[in-house]
């Protein structure tokens, strides 16, 4: 059964930081080099210096991006830029945003410590494959900072909305924070420290299954770090903080929950264009040309609508290429996926567009095996279709494959079946902020309940 626990969050001191918008960021794995530079310039105390410190050519064992992250984190606590709350609490979060159809929505979730459980226990279920390099990177940061700087984003079933109703009724009247984040999204954070509400939330969560939405690398790293710390501190009990990890939990029934597609760009296919690919793909797909006229936004709207309509018939993908102004709609022919077998296409996986793209297009047609797909220079992953269109038009990528979003119920079905989607099968939006709340992993402290 999943175990959640209130915690004493480390948060920015409003007396030392003029605006939270200048110091928080999205998660590390969606930050480009250009964005990293802009966050560095925004404020000398921006969390980027801890979460994603810059590499230097002179880095060595005693001075590297991880030691510098830890030094910033420790110094900011000593200077009072970061303060730790005096008593444990859950932290209720509200994020307001505009969806792809132009509607304003609010996603509600809460920050908690989640007890780390081995994957075979089936308490916390993943749905995506991970990148080896990312896990090693996060492990080095865990060890250096001894803290969860950014949270995992996870989902739980709650059709009656009992957990969030409990938190809403018990939250402090005034928010701890009320600001517009660097992405232009209004954010509110409330403290919930009422002992009875904390007890009720822990009770309600105890019979649920947790589905990882974002942060698979961080969860696997939390497992590795827990095992590492258990060996280092055999005297520590099961409630030691390193047995937990910072998590943002959102109900699967929350009306503000949104998943975007994560498209694939193939940068290094010199001399290979749309006609070359289509000649290989036509045995498997019905192909329809789409004339792209107007600006990038108009092209995005046309492609999005065409993909959604085609997907009602069969699995469908979009293709754009640097060597043509046309786009192509690829609709899977009946029975094609039946010719593929194995755990990567079993059960509900075989019904996913992203699985068709990964195992039929990238692997079978283009010959990019799992090792190749693990390399960022081979495949790039972008959720913003405008950015994808611009990258291909500029020639920075030769081809791009466009996807419909994976649905929440598909994520649940795959995870419950014990199966794993390809990397970056989902892009939950908005991303959960890094730096809003931080969780310390001190080996000499234990999780506790809310105090009366």
Burial 178-196 (b: 16+ CB within 10 A, else e): ebebbeebebbbbbbbbee
CA distance 249 to 405: 21
* String of DSSP letters for 409-422: HHHHHHHHTT--BP
- What secondary structure does DSSP assign to 126-163, as a single string? --B---HHHHHHHHHHHHHH-EE-S-EEEEE--TT-HH
Query: What integer is the mean pLDDT of 283-287?
Result: 93
- Domains of the chain are 4-258+430-440 (no CATH), 262-404 (3.30.1760)
Instruction: Please write the tens of the pLDDT for every residue from 222-263.
Output: 999 999 999 999 999 999 999 999 999 999 999 999 998 899
Q: What are phi and psi of 104, to 5 degrees?
A: -80, 130
Query: Average pLDDT for residues 403-414, to the nearest whole number?
Result: 88
Residue 322 confidence (pLDDT) above 70: yes
What's the confidence (pLDDT) of residue 292? Answer: 84
Residue 343: which pLDDT band, with cuts at 50, 70 and 90? low
- Least confident among 100-104, 221-225, 270-274, 317-321: 270-274
**Average pLDDT over the chain, rounded to whole?**
90
Q: What DSSP letter does each residue of 213-248 carry, written as one string?
A: EE-HHHHHHHHHHHHHHHHH-TT--TTBGGGEEEEE
Task: Report how far apart the first and last C-alpha atoms of the chain are (Å, whole number).
Answer: 26
* pLDDT of 298 above 70: yes
pTM recorded for the entire structure: 0.87
d(CA 71, CA 77): 10
Q: Encode pLDDT of 28-60 as tens digits.
A: 988 989 999 999 999 999 999 999 999 999 989
Residue 145 pLDDT > 80, yes or no? yes
Q: How far apart are CA 37 and CA 46, in angstroms?
A: 11
């Amino acid at each position: 059964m999943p175990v959640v626990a209130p915690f004493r969050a480390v948060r920015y001191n409003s007396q030392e930081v003029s605006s939270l918008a200048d110091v928080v960021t999205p998660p590390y794995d969606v930050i480009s080099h250009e964005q990293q530079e802009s966050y560095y310039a925004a404020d000398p105390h921006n969390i980027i210096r801890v979460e994603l410190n810059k590499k230097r050519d002179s880095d060595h064992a005693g001075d590297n991006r991880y030691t510098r992250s830890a030094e910033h984190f420790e110094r900011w606590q000593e200077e009072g830029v970061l303060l730790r709350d005096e008593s444990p609490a859950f932290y209720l979060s509200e994020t307001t945003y505009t969806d792809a159809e132009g509607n304003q929505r609010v996603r509600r979730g809460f920050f908690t410590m989640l007890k780390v459980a081995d994957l075979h226990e089936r308490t916390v279920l993943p749905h995506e494959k991970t990148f080896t390099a990312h896990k090693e990177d996060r492990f080095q940061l865990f060890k250096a900072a001894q803290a969860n700087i950014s949270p995992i984003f996870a989902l739980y079933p709650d059709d009656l909305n009992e957990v969030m109703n409990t938190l809403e009724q018990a939250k402090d009247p005034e928010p701890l924070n009320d600001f517009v984040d660097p992405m232009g999204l209004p954010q509110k954070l409330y403290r919930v420290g009422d002992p009875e509400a904390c007890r009720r939330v822990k009770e309600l969560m105890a019979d649920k299954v947790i589905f990882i939405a974002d942060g698979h690398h961080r969860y696997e790293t939390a497992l590795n770090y827990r095992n590492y710390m258990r060996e280092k501190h055999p005297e520590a009990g099961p409630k030691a903080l390193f047995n937990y990890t910072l998590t943002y939990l959102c109900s699967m029934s929350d009306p503000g929950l949104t998943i975007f597609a994560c498209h694939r760009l193939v940068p290094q296919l010199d001399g290979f264009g749309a006609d070359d690919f289509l000649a290989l793909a036509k045995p498997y797909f019905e192909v329809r040309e789409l004339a792209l006229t107007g600006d990038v936004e108009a092209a995005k709207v046309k492609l999005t609508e065409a993909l959604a309509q085609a997907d009602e018939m069969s699995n469908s993908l979009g293709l754009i290429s640097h060597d043509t102004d046309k786009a192509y709609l690829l609709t899977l022919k009946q029975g094609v996926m039946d010719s593929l077998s194995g755990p990567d296409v079993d059960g509900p996986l075989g019904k996913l567009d992203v699985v068709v793209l990964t195992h039929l297009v990238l692997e079978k047609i283009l010959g990019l095996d799992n090792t190749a797909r693990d390399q960022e220079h081979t495949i790039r992953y972008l959720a913003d279709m405008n950015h994808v269109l611009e990258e291909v038009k500029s020639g920075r990528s030769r081809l791009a494959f466009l996807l419909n979003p994976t649905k929440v119920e598909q994520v649940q079905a795959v995870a419950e079946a014990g199966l794993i989607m390809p990397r970056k099968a989902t892009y939950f939006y908005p991303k959960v902020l890094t730096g809003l709340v931080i969780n310390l992993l001190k080996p000499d402290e234990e999780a506790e309940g809310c105090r009366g």
